[in-house]
Amino acid sequence: MSSVIVFDEEMDSCNLLKRILEREGHGVTTCSHSEETLRLVSSNPPDLVIAHISQSKSMKLAAQIKSVNSKLKVLTICDHVSDVVESAMGDGYLIRPVDIETIESKVRELLAPEKRS
């Protein structure tokens, strides 16, 4: 089981993602404040952070997470294509609206063991 932190300022969205990910067998912690997310990443690093990037203050979150732990996987969910540029420090992105199968597939991809050559 992998540990995942879900950040979204809208708790309804956090709870929806939590249900999806728990159904896949992941342990999920939800956060609605970027400061709380950074505190959790620092104190107990998860396997993956999923962050909904929608407002200017949260657009820097992926970069801040990477500055705390450069090896941590970050998946950003954006409302607009232009947000993707701002969240370039992440390991992957999805544009809303996004279906459940796409979320599950991207999470599996990011959490898969890295292949060594």
Tell me the pLDDT tens digit for each residue of 18-75. 999 999 999 999 999 999 999 999 999 999 999 998 766 556 888 889 899 999 999 9
Residue 100 lies in a domain: no
CATH number at residue 14: 3.40.50.2300
What would the mean pLDDT of 77-89 be, rounded to a whole number? 67
Nearest to 44 by CA among 24, 25, 69: 69
What would the mean pLDDT of 85-90 be, rounded to a whole number? 60
User: CA of 115: how far to CAs of 26, 78, 90, 103, 111, in Å?
Assistant: 21, 28, 20, 22, 12
Phi/psi at 16 (5° precision): -65, -50
Residue 87 lies in a domain: no
Residue 96 lies in a domain: no
pLDDT: is 105 or 76 the higher one? 105
Count CA atoms closer than 13 A to 81's CA, side-chain side. Answer: 0
Residue 53 lies in a domain: yes
Residue 23 lies in a domain: yes
Dihedral angle computed from the Cα positions of residues 76, 27, 47 and 97, in that order, rounded to the nearest 10 degrees: -10
Over 80: is that where the pLDDT of 115 sits? no
Domain count, the chain: 1
Q: DSSP label at 6?
A: E
Q: Range of 38's domain? A: 3-76+107-111
pTM of the model: 0.89
Return the bridge partners of 57, or none.
Answer: none
What would the mean pLDDT of 101-108 be, rounded to a whole number? 97
Roughly what angle, to the nearest 10 degrees, separates helices 11-23 and 100-111?
A: 70
- The mean pLDDT of the chain is 87
Whether omega before 45 lies within 30 degrees of 0, making that bond cis, reads: no
What is the model's pLDDT at position 51? 92
pLDDT in tens, 33-48: 999 999 999 999 999 9
Residue 82 lies in a domain: no
